[in-house]
Amino acid sequence: MHTNSIIELNKKAYQKNISFLKNTFGKKVLLSSVVKGNAYGHGIKEFVLMAYECGVTHFSVFDVEEAKIVKATLADKAIIMVMGLVQDEDMEWVVANHVEFFVFDKSRLTKATRVAKKLHKKAILHIEVETGMNRTGFEKKELNSIIAFLKKEKEYLIFKGLCTHYAGAESIANYYRVEKQIKRFDEIYQYLWDNDLKPEIKHSACSAASIMFPKTRMDMVRIGIMQYGLWPSPEVFVNYLNSKKSKIDPLHRVITWKSSIMSVKKVNIGDFIGYGTSFLAERKMKIAVVPIGYSHGYSRSLSNQGRVLINGQRCIVVGSVNMNMMTVDVTDIETVKKEDEVVLIGTQEDLTVSVASFSDFSNQLNYELLTRISKTIPRKIIE
């Protein structure tokens, strides 16, 4: 097991985020916790357990592999919805375990029906429609065929939801494109109604859309990044603040990533540090070696610019980030020794390394940065 570092999940912070989101959306809107990408790097097994204890009972995943982890962790206590990949060979497990799933092509629809008939169980479907994202979803011209199929096979299929996904709701640059999508989605929903076919729920909003376009909340929101205490973009955060008297961030970061110093050594003036010649010591230096590198998810692009916290001080990464370790300038820390705590993401005394500042230095999105954190790092829930 990896013992170089640990990920801590703050349960109180998560509870505050969920309470804020539920209060924002209202009691009639169901919140689905999106835990794809190893729960955005937080650790899917530990995260869903914590989320369930905080009152979350609906989880959205990308594929069946993730669905099986949620199922093994929570058994039948929660609803699981697969938004992406369901291989044909996995369809029997999905239907048998009452796992809900997106359907966006005819082959999956027919496969689900065949399996449902074989198992004598109903497949629970969310029909995804194309509204302008141009990724997955049935085209408008396919609707009549889909309507006829769902009516014909209603004995074996539950039309649980109608859904779509917006193309960049986090940016005002996409405003008109998203507005067109909302209009198309409403038109499709009405068309189904006019043809005597109604889903139990309709849903379309991710974190960004739920804040930037409140009308997209509908019956359910699929909340990813915001439940983890992060905003989809600065624009979404500013948009929220402009709508409120209080200018305090209501979200609380859930994740903390900690390691410890492996060794401390001195470097002479004029010497290079690490591979190559990217960092030259312009004074006598003291460096700490930290056993974290790009194989653990600490990006190589943070070489010579990443920040960590040691003994209540902000320290800069010097030299190249290696596969399994990195070097940090601790010259100005009077007392520093092996096994001292190193905070990669989180707070130490009065200082914080946020995910946003972390990603600013590496030109990575919050999402990309988090999902790259190694799955082998142990996750621990902090009450």
Element (DSSP H or E) covering residue 320: none
- Judge whether 226 is annotated as a binding position: no
- Judge whether 323 is annotated as a binding position: yes
User: What is the rounded CA–CA span in Å between residue 332 and residue 7?
Assistant: 27
Exposure of 265 in the CB half-sphere (CA atoms within 13 A):
11
SS3 at position 337: coil
Torsion angle of alpha carbons 75, 59, 344, 211, nearest 10°? -160
User: What is the rounded CA–CA span in Å between residue 59 and residue 199?
Assistant: 19
Torsion angle of alpha carbons 337, 290, 381, 250, nearest 10°? 100
Active site residues: 36, 275
SS3 at position 8: strand
Length of the chain: 383
User: What is the rounded CA–CA span in Å between residue 87 and residue 333?
Assistant: 54
Element (DSSP H or E) covering residue 113: helix 106-119
Query: 355, 366 in Cβ contact below 8 A?
Result: yes
Binding-site positions for substrate: 135, 323
Binding-site positions: 135, 323
